[in-house]
Amino acid sequence: MIKQILAIDDSAAMREILAATLRSAGYDVTVAPDGDEGLAVALASRFDLVLTDQYMPKRSGLDVIAALRAQPAYAATPIFVLTTEDGVAFKDAARAAGASGWIEKPLDPDTLTELVDALNAQGA
């Protein structure tokens, strides 16, 4: 069951959109402004879902995903990358890093909420 969500994005506006959307749907949301801080937060607390931007200072989203997948606590956790990329090469790289999937920007708040609800329905 997804309750605790970590959202990592270097855009303050995107962090606010993610947090407001998910909190209004009843989820507890923690935000981080870059890949290094996001990884540190994820390793300090356990999250049920991680959403990470791809292009950030210090550490990319795929780097964050690979680092989390190396941790037993995050081996089966859904981790989605937020990106403007839609090419096959990027999707292959995301899969190789361990991404559960990707959410294309610009973000549709309803689609995000439906995704998390669907993950809960699947027993994530």
Task: Give residue-wise pLDDT tens across range 9-35.
Answer: 999 999 999 999 999 999 999 999 999
Is this structure's pTM higher than 0.85?
yes
Question: Topology of domain 4-121, per CATH?
Answer: Rossmann fold (3.40.50)
Question: What's residue 66's pLDDT?
Answer: 97
All residues at 6 or more sequence positions from 120 whose CB lies less than 8 Å from its CB, including other chains: 1, 2
Residues of the chain falling short of pLDDT 70: 124
Question: What's residue 54's pLDDT?
Answer: 95
All residues at 6 or more sequence positions from 49 whose CB lies less than 8 Å from its CB, including other chains: 2, 4, 5, 6, 77, 78, 79, 80, 116, 119, 124
**Could you tell me the residue ranges of all domains in the chain?**
4-121
